Structure 1
Amino acid sequence: MEDFGNINILVVEDDKEINNLIKAALNKEGFNVVQAFDGMDGFAKYKSMNFSIAILDIMLPYVDGMEIMKKIREESVIPIIILSAKGEECDRITGLGFGADDYIVKPFFVGELVARVKSNLRRYISFHKNQEEVSTLKKGNITLDFNDYCAYKEGERIVLTAKEFELLKLFFTNPKRVFTKMQIFESVWNEDYMGDDNTVMVHIRRLRNKIENNPNKPEYILTVWGIGYKLGDVE
């Protein structure tokens, strides 16, 4: 069993059977699980203590999962995994667009959820372990600050999710390299590529909307047609 240390996980799911199943599986792996069964209570519990990851159902009483996620993203880059009975592509894109790091469609195998939790935590924790070793990285008008895990454009903070931060870091640390979607996915998600181009494309589009002066004419994240993406010629 991997030792992730003292990890608090928030699970907001109104189906008590599913919520309890998730709690039992994660407790077995050594995680501390805080349960909530509606959106209002879920956000209140998020504000009451420090969490390293949140698992949110979309359809919740009082406040839905998307709204909770937007509120969390205003102040935190912790990984967020969305649970949904909706498996349509547009629903996945909406979830990722609002700031989710992962999206799991019901019904699901609890073992898969545990694996996704661990995968997201590994990436999140690894960045924080390296914060003291790396200070800042600057390209053009954008600076990545590893001390506070944030990005700044002309001194103004840009709120990025963990995945968006990792994407930008990948391009900034490899300024001359062209990445295929498969290479991006396997580097940022740290998982085997299953041919899902949409995941990468949605995150690239969301990142462009945050960092580019004109997302339709990007200067930082350029499309290399037929291959993938690269960093623009910014100094």
Structure 2
Amino acid sequence: MPSTILVVDDDPHIRQLLVFAFGKAGLDTIEAADGEEALAQVERHAPNLVVLDINMPRMDGLEVCRRLRAASQVPIFFLSSRDDEIDRVLGIELGGDDYVVKPFSPREVVARSMAILRRTASRPPESEAIAVLRHGRVTLDPESWTVRWGEQEVALTVTEFTILRTLLAMPSRIFSRDNIIDRFRGPGFALTDRTVDSHVRNLRRKFAEVGGSDVIETRAGIGYRLGACSGAPAA
């Protein structure tokens, strides 16, 4: 299925570069020059991915992300004009799926956007059924991209969903941060350990809000593994 990318940046030159690069990759694009226009475009066109500048006047990208996450799980790819880890991690914790720092390579943005779209849109062959994953009170359905704690659905971003799916698939294994990055991004993907930690904090917070305080365990000096998922305090 064709995908539509919303490119949001107050710099028309950057928008032009990205629209051209996505077009060469066979992807349709729409544009927005500020945060308010971005929200309107999402409501009007329901894009498959939002490429979103953080530093914009009037309404910055972090506020746009907050508002989108209140009603949508559309993947968000942040563009940052500063190599500031605090801003980047904050963007991830608000629900972003990836980021790149300006100046960037348009080809890299396209490649990383395509990786997000593949994770979102991939479906198994009709002859191959993917089993629903269950552990304790957690249920993850790869077909419908839904996660539940008991009977209550837990809304996750694409990246959070993929991390949880990785842990659920091998519940007894301890995954290092590098293992997690390699599992759902591919080797060599530009994702930091701290960003993985941010996604894990998001997962813990979202499950804790519905009573799931033991979904992910930390193994000091090693990484993460799936917890008991019973509602007891986590390790």
Alignment TM class, shorter chain as reference? 0.7 to 0.9
Q: Which aligned pairs between 1:51-90 and structure 2 lie closer than 5 A?
A: 51-90=47-86
Q: 1:156 to 1:49 in 2, by over 3 A?
A: same
TM-score normalised by the chain length of structure 1: 0.88
Q: Cα offset for 1:224?
A: 1.2
Give the aligned residue type for 1:228: G
Contact map agreement 2:76 2:97 (CA 8 A) in 1:
yes
- 1:130 counterpart = 2:124: yes
Q: Counterpart of 1:188?
A: 184
Shift of 1:25: 0.9
SS at match of 2:7: strand
Deviation at 1:168, TM superposition (A): 0.9
Decide whether the 8 Å contact of 1:223 with 1:229 is kept in 2: yes
Q: Superposed, which structure 2 residues align to 1:68-147 within 5 Å? A: 68-126=64-122, 129-130=123-124, 133-134=129-130, 136-147=132-143
Q: Which moved more, 1:23-32 or 1:53-62?
A: 53-62
Which digits, 9 at most, give the CA deviation of each residue in 1:102-144, with x for residues without a partner? Answer: 1111111212111111121122222xx1397336322222222
1:163 counterpart (159, 168, 171): 159
Q: TM-score, normalised by structure 2?
A: 0.88
Letter in 1 for 2:124: N
Contact 1:182 1:195 in 2 (8 A): no
Which residue is 2:146 aligned to? 150
Mind listing any 5+ residue stretches in structure 2 that lack a counterpart?
A: 231-235
Runs of 4+ in structure 1 deviating by more than 6 angstroms, as ranges, are none
Residues 74 and 159 in structure 1, CA contact (< 8 A), matched pair in contact too: no
Q: Deviations over 1:37-61 (max 9, x none)?
A: 1111111011112311110111224
Q: Which residue of 2 aligns with 1:197?
A: 193
Structure-2 residue corresponding to 1:9: 5
**Long gaps (5+) in structure 1:** none
For residue 226 of structure 2, the aligned residue among 214, 217, 231 is: 231
- In 2: Cα distance, 1:158 partner to 1:27 partner: 35
Which one of 201, 215, 218 corresponds to residue 220 of structure 1?
A: 215
